[in-house]
Each structure stands twice: as C-alpha cells, then as structure tokens.
Amino acid sequence: MKTPNQPDQRYDVRGDCQKVSEQAERVLIDPEAIARWAAEVDPGAIRPAPRPEELRVTGTPAELARWVLLLDCLNFCFWTTDEVPWTIEHAGRSWRRYSALVAALHRAVSRDRGWLEPARWASATSREVEDLFAGRGRIPLLAERVGILNETGKVAIERFDGEPIHLVEAAGFDAPAIAAHVADAFNSFRDVHLYKGRPVAILKRAQIFAADLAHAWADLGGPSVANLASLTAFADYRIPQMLRHLGVLILDRDFEARIETRQRIEPSSREEIELRACSIWAVEEMVHALQGQRDVSIPSWLLDEYLWDRSHDPQVRLEHHRTVTFYY
C-alpha cells in the first residue's frame, strides 16, 4: 500500500471564519439574537438529524469507509432552478434532494455491491450515473457528479489502494486530520477560497466525511473516530437560511434582496464566503452562549445537524441562497 503523505497544508476553519466575520461587509452576527436563542432553546431537542433505517448500509469498517466516501463525494447542490425537487422511489417511500441521493446509492448498492468499489467509480459513464439517479426530475449538476465520481475512484486507487480506510488510518482516526487528509487528496473536497487576498478554509464536505464515517462506524461497532467536537458547522445552503430565520445573521439589504428574489450568488464571491464563514462562526458563538448561559455543552457538528433539520420546518419562510457549486 502507498502511504499517504501528511497533509501539506494546515486548515484552520474556525480561525479563518472568525477573521472573515470580523472583516465582513455584507453579513453581520447579532450577539443579542444568539443570547435570546440560548435562553429559549430546549437543549434536549438538540439531537442528530434522523437517519432513516431504510437507508442504512451494513458491512465491514472498510466497506463502510467506501460507502461514506461514495456518498459524500456526491453530496452537493440539490436545489433546482424550476423549484421541483429531484425525487426517487425506494423502499416503499419517496425521497427528495439529499435523502434521494442516499436512497439512490442505497438502491444501487442493494442491487450490486460493485458500486462500493472505487474501480467502479473511476470507470462509471455518464449513462451509468444517470441510470443510478433515475427518478422524477433530474439531479442537478449531473456532469460534475460524473467527473467527481471518476476522480474520487481514481485517487482512491492510486493513493489508497482502493481502500479509503487507509486514509483514515494515516490520519490516526482523528476527525480534523481525516478532514485535512480528504481535502488534500481529493480536489472536489478542497473547499478553500480567497477572501481579501487570504485563503479561507471551510471544508464542508471534508468535515462531513469525518463525521459521517464516525456515525456509520459507531452504529455498527466499528473503530472510534476521535475529536469529533473539533469539527465546525458544515456551512451549506440551509444553515445560513436557518440562522437568518433566527435573526442570528443579518444581511445588508441588497444581499438579502438578491437571496429572497432567488438571484444567483456567485461561488467564491466575497458575499458568498462571508455568508458561509459567518454561519460557521455564528454556530461557534451559539455553542459558547449555550455553555455560558445554561451550562450545556453541545458540539458544533451536533448543533449544525439540529439547525439543518429545523430549517425544513414550515415556519422557516426565508429563501436559501442559490449558488451553483460542488463544494456544498
């Protein structure tokens, strides 16, 4: 087996996002809203988002590592321009957006375990991937997903002998190190952007890989992943939307109007980086407020899951921002 190199770049998601929040021009964090939230929230309700039993995958730790990498390399951008969600039928239910991705892959693996092999990912054709995601509507960014699936398979073979668990071993089963190794190894996971001339690491999907793998192994008695509490929130479309709903994030009028009228926000633009980075730092401030006001310790990744799940509540009427990207 080829030994993966140690990450040649240090990623400081918290530090980078704090600096952006201090310099942001279009997005502000409201500390009073955070204090109100911390005083009113039911800490017992802050729990992981539901994971449907119908979509559970079983296997060895190595197989689960392949499953999680397959899932997370394709986990991005589910909103559609016509606002009709991509939907698939599986296990007697309809699944939409992210859940449809999980269901589609679960369906494929249930029929053919070969989909758990990086060699299959590396050689997958556009037609095969389109068939994989067949349902009502069309999954967004299909061509990008084909390219990323091919790249992920090739890198997994070339650098890790087709076993993503080797990457995790090289990272010492440490969550932030796993995220760093994934970001270093796979271009599509390297969620780092320039803001006012400085790199800002956000690493949404790289950190989710570490968290998803930890949860998958924990459910089936696999190896333990250390330092999950060191992960930050996973800045996507829904977390900023929910934080705006709570009044925690305040946008300038022009930026807010563009989001509410469903105008495209350019990827890696200053306002897009500010929105995502301030979301991450706001969640950190919410964690600190809950600890300080209520003596309740909640890790950022868990608060993220709670906020993401709550963002789907019918009372959340604000629009999410619309950016076409494979980073989230």
What letters, b where the CB count within 10 A reaches 16 and e where it falls short, cover 285-317?
A: bbbebbeeeeeeebbbbbbbbbbbbbbeeeebe
How far apart (Å, rounded) are the C-alpha atoms in residues 191 and 193?
Answer: 7
Q: Which domain holds residue 173?
A: 13-310
Catalytic residue annotation? 236
Confidence of residue 9 (pLDDT cuts 50, 70, 90): low
What's the start-to-end Cα distance of the chain, in Å? 31
- Tell whether 149 is covered by a domain: yes
Asked if residue 69 lies in contact with residue 152, where contact means CB atoms within 8 angstroms, the answer is yes
Tell me: the pLDDT tens digits for 176-202? 999 999 999 999 999 999 999 999 999
pTM listed for this prediction? 0.95
- The values of phi and psi at residue 90, to 5°, are -160, 140
> CA-to-CA distance for 167 and 257, rounded, in angstroms?
43
Instruction: Count CA within 13 A, CB hemisphere, residue 50.
Output: 6
What share of the chain in percent tops pLDDT 70? 97
pLDDT at 49 over 90: no
Structural domain contains residue 292 = yes
Nearest to 61 by CA among 218, 266, 202, 182: 218
Tell me the pairing of strands 93-96 and 249-251: unpaired
CB distance 55 to 315 below 8 Å: no
Domain count, the chain: 1
Read off the pLDDT of residues 81-114 as tens digits, 9 standing for 90 and up.
888 999 999 999 999 999 999 999 999 999 999 9
Q: Which of 191, 184, 225 is nearest to 205 (CA)?
A: 191
Residue 4 is predicted with a pLDDT of 44
Contact between 175 and 230 under an 8 Å Cβ cutoff? The reply is yes
Question: Among 226, 261, 252, 182, which residue's Cα sits nearest to residue 7?
Answer: 182
What distance in Å separates the CA atoms of residue 320 and residue 240, rounded to the nearest whole number? 7
The widest CA-to-CA distance across the chain, in whole angstroms, is 54
Instruction: Note whether residue 327 is domain-resident.
Output: no
pLDDT tens digits for range 111-145: 999 999 999 999 999 999 999 999 999 999 999 99
User: Taking 50 as the threshold, does the pLDDT of residue 242 lie above it?
Assistant: yes
Q: Which two tokens stand for residue 8?
A: 């040649």
Domain membership of residue 325 (yes or no) is no
CB atoms within 10 A of CB 124: 17
Residue 4 lies in a domain: no
Asked if the structure places residue 223 within a domain, the reply is yes
Question: Can you say how many angstroms the Cα of residue 158 is from the centroid of all Cα atoms in its chain?
Answer: 25
Judge whether 35 lies within some domain: yes
Looking up tokens 């698939």 gives 88
108 in any annotated domain: yes
Beta carbons within 8 Å of 299's beta carbon, 6+ residues apart: 228, 229, 231, 287
